[in-house]
Amino acid sequence: MQRPGARTAIALLLVNPFERSAAIARSGNFPKVLVLSSNGAVREASLLEDTSDGIARASLRLEPGDSILVYTDGLARLAEQRRQGGVDEILQRSAGFAALSNAASIHENVLGAILARDRWAQVDLTDDITAVVVSFTGDAMATRQEVA
């Protein structure tokens, strides 16, 4: 999608708890998709672009306790500007903490590492910052999945 002076990126994430899978599609380079496994490993989802429509797609197999972090380029740029490393590095450094047991704690930890509380009011944002975390509990009959 093109707009005058900008490009719009669109992403879709579908989680199927019955099949323990997730399907991802996006246009453009962002948002990025990281998977935090229940064992603490962090990996970027490898999306393959279909040249006929320009949409990149991937399918993921999920295990109970896995979480998916979807984030925009604004978050990645801010992490780089503040010399925090990449978002994947921040998530990897945080992965060992037992407190990262649900979507809200992962979301808070990643954003907290980049947007230091004492500097939050002074942040001069030049781009949007979006981060969504979906935690897969493994319970297909759960009334809601954990999302932050």
Q: pLDDT category, 95, cuts 50, 70, 90?
A: low
Residue 120's contacts (CB-CB under 8 Å, 6 or more residues apart) are none
- Looking at residue 116, its pLDDT comes to 66
Segment 118-143 mean pLDDT: 69
Q: pLDDT category, 61, cuts 50, 70, 90?
A: very high
Q: What is the CATH number of the domain that holds 136?
A: 3.60.40.10
- Looking at residue 85, its pLDDT comes to 65
Number of domains in the chain: 1
Residue, of 127 and 102, whose pLDDT is higher:
102
Whether the pLDDT of residue 128 is over 60: the answer is yes
Q: Residue 117 belongs to what domain range?
A: 2-147
